[in-house]
Amino acid sequence: MNIETVAVNREWTEDGELWVQYVSAQPATRSDAISLGERLDQRLQVFCFFNGSANLKNTISLDSTSPL
């Protein structure tokens, strides 16, 4: 089975450039998961600092279908 049949590559345009995030067939390690969690925590702290935690709840509920 091809990995792209299970998960699709993520594509977006930024500043007129097309960006593609490819799906990896290699499973994440425990270290990868911990690092990702730490990066998410940092981003949430910055968001809450500038926007308040009430806005975070609204943002998550409105954008719950988009990937991180």
pLDDT at 45: 86
Instruction: Tell me the residue ranges of DSSP E strands in the chain.
Output: 10-14, 17-21
Q: For 14-25, write each residue's pLDDT tens digit.
A: 999 999 998 888
Q: What one-character DSSP code corresponds to residue 21?
A: E
- Residues 53 and 43: beta-carbon distance below 8 Å: no
Q: How far apart are CA 23 and CA 3, in angstroms?
A: 7
Q: How far apart are CA 54 and CA 48, in angstroms?
A: 8
Q: Any idea where the domains of the chain sit in the sequence?
A: 27-68
pLDDT at 60: 60
Q: For 9-67, write each residue's pLDDT tens digit.
A: 899 999 999 999 988 888 899 999 999 999 998 988 888 888 877 666 666 655 545 55
pLDDT at 64: 46
